[in-house]
Amino acid sequence: MIHAQGLRRAFGTAQARRWVVDNATLKAEPGEFLAVVGPSGSGKSTLLGILGTLDTHYEGQLTIDGRDIRSLSDRELSSLRGEKIGFVFQSFHLLENRSVLDNVAVPLLFARHPPSRRKAFSVLEQVGLSDRAQELTANLSGGQRQRVAIARAIVHGPSLLFCDEPTGNLDAVTAEQIIDLFVSLHRQGGVTVLCATHDERIANIATRVLRMDEGRLREQR
């Protein structure tokens, strides 16, 4: 599903360049649940941005589902994200002045063959929020917002799900509920999950754990 070889990403000027991702190599097979752990500033989020095709200013090789990412146009990259990839972020990135249902339906606007909004409602049922479909997201709790974000990420049936600190802004009980939801989604759908996290509970449910330190990636378990 993912094959990355020698990925490097630097920030700063030519005189003061810092390699945030330094020669990272990994393979992710269909259906795997990979946790990328490490301290803040180690490069986890930057790595996920590259693997998720959000950041294209990198060195090295990256193929997703057999497609060389460097060979794709902006339009082809957008199409790949719309068909294959879902994202869940720590800070949710929801449209606060729109309904829960509207937020979940956003990815359907970019699908080549968009399903009806009934699909968005059925995914809300899956994450336990169908009774809040018409509520503004601004009125929801942190855990509910993250459930909306997860529903938005999976509504178009992606084969890849990237999660960046999905429990970072949640209390322990709510975080446990979100982790249980990830376990359920992974088992039911067979989606490949890559999750950057400080949360050892997520690392414990992953099928494989990678550790990142100062931009370097290595197998931990």
**Residue-by-residue pLDDT tens, the chain, 221 positions:** 899 999 999 998 877 888 999 999 999 999 999 999 999 889 999 999 999 999 999 999 999 999 999 999 998 998 888 888 999 988 889 999 999 999 999 888 776 666 677 889 999 998 999 999 999 999 999 999 999 999 999 888 889 999 999 998 888 888 898 888 888 888 876 789 999 998 898 999 999 999 999 999 998 87
- Please tell me what DSSP assigns to residue 149: H
Instruction: Please provide the size of the chain in residues.
Output: 221
Rg, C-alpha atoms of the chain: 17
Secondary structure of 76-105 in HEC code, one letter for each residue:
HHHHHHHHHEEEEECCCCCCCCCEHHHHHH
Predicted local confidence at residue 108, as pLDDT: 81
Predicted local confidence at residue 113, as pLDDT: 63
Predicted local confidence at residue 186, as pLDDT: 83
- In 3D space, the residue among 22, 9, 4, 7 whose CA is nearest the CA of residue 212 turns out to be 22
